[in-house]
């Protein structure tokens, strides 16, 4: 089955090419955005199989760095409507299949 083989190759290609973090929406200042993005990447790579742990790590680190009341959602598919403090939201994709939403609201 050449078709499926090709499909697999394509998928691998896709995974390889699309592993970079892709910010979909953010209103953070430049410095904060970069830091948060790196943190998300680190967490998702560290806990590649456990989204809950990754979210926990991101939340705790963010609380430490930027003050309390951070919320993190990581998943492959979800819908959300959140109220966040202005300049404190980051919504990004990572690794080709994960969506990470980080926001602050006390």
Footprint of other proteins (CB under 8 A): 14, 17-18, 22, 24-25, 27, 75-86, 89, 91, 93, 96-99, 101, 103, 105
Q: How far is the CB of 11 from other proteins (least distance, A)?
A: 10
- Given a contact cutoff of 8 angstroms between Cβ atoms, the answer to whether 90 and 39 are in contact is no
State the Rg of the chain over Cα. Answer: 15
- Give whichever of 27 and 35 is closer to other proteins, judged by the CB atom: 27
| Tokens 């979800």 belong to residue | 78
Residue 45, SS3 per DSSP: helix
Q: How far is the CB of 81 from other proteins (least distance, A)?
A: 3
Q: How is residue 103 annotated by DSSP?
A: E
- Give whichever of 47 and 96 is closer to other proteins, judged by the CB atom: 96
Q: How far is the CB of 79 from other proteins (least distance, A)?
A: 3
Q: How far is the CB of 37 from other proteins (least distance, A)?
A: 14
Q: What's the Cα-to-Cα distance from 96 to each of 8, 51, 68, rounded to whole Å? A: 15, 14, 30
């Amino acid at each position: 089955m050449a078709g499926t083989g090709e499909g697999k190759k394509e998928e691998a290609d896709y995974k390889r090419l699309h592993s970079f973090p892709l910010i979909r929406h953010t209103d953070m200042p430049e410095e904060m955005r970069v830091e948060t993005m790196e943190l998300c990447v680190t967490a998702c790579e560290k806990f590649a199989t456990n989204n809950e742990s990754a979210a926990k790590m991101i939340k705790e680190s963010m609380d430490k760095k930027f003050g309390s009341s951070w919320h993190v959602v990581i998943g492959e598919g979800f819908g959300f409507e959140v109220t966040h403090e202005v300049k404190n939201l980051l919504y990004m994709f990572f690794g080709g299949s994960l969506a990470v939403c980080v926001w602050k609201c006390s």
